[in-house]
Amino acid sequence: MQKKSFNYLKIFTVFVSVLFATSCGIYKPSDARKVSPNVEERIQKNIEEGKGIRFGIGQGSKDMHFEFSSSNELWRASLDILDFIPLSNVDYSGGIIITDWYNEGTASNEAIKITIRFLSNEIRADGLDVVIHKRVCKGTAVNCKVTKYSSGLEEEIKLAILKKATILKKRGDDKKKALSKKEYEKKYGKALKDRKKN
């Protein structure tokens, strides 16, 4: 008897919730004939009607800065430099790249793992930290010792990343300049030509 009344209570609660949602205007079914199948048009319409959420991106807010990983030269350069090693953890928002254990094949019982921590988006020596760990196994894989490995390799990797990032930044800047020049000529070119004729 108690179980049966509990089931009725559940059904009643769901019914009241649905009734409340439809009567208060929370749920409004849409007519498929009036809704555009084009996603971009629906987004534009929602923005014009004030629907949706804005996060302050591109509104000049200083405290809300968002940057895609594809536009961060240090990040892209690091991935390019480490493309020969499988990666085990890549977290752009956390600013870290960790490779899997890598063995060159010279010593079967030794492997290294590279960790890169991003401390800044700027291309500078103190903008990233490279740490290498070395694993040495004796006999089986269970009997392994992992230690922080200090050699010149960390500095070589850091230098290679910084060089690559500088090249990527220069290419990006050149591309922006060329694009802005084309846009300027497209926008003001006709007016300048007309002015020269007069």
- Predicted confidence at residue 158, as pLDDT, reads 94
- Whole-structure pTM over 0.85, yes or no? no
157 closest CA partner among 119, 107, 113, 101: 113
In the chain, what are the domain boundaries? 1-50, 69-176
- Predicted confidence at residue 15, as pLDDT, reads 75
Q: Which residues pair with 89 in a beta bridge?
A: 98
Sign of the torsion formed by the C-alpha atoms of 153, 149, 75 and 89: positive
- Predicted confidence at residue 97, as pLDDT, reads 93
- Predicted confidence at residue 94, as pLDDT, reads 85
For 114-139, what is each residue's pLDDT tens digit? Answer: 999 998 888 888 889 999 999 998 87
**How many C-beta neighbours within 10 Å does residue 90 have?**
16
Which residues in the chain land under pLDDT 50?
A: 53-66
- Predicted confidence at residue 81, as pLDDT, reads 93
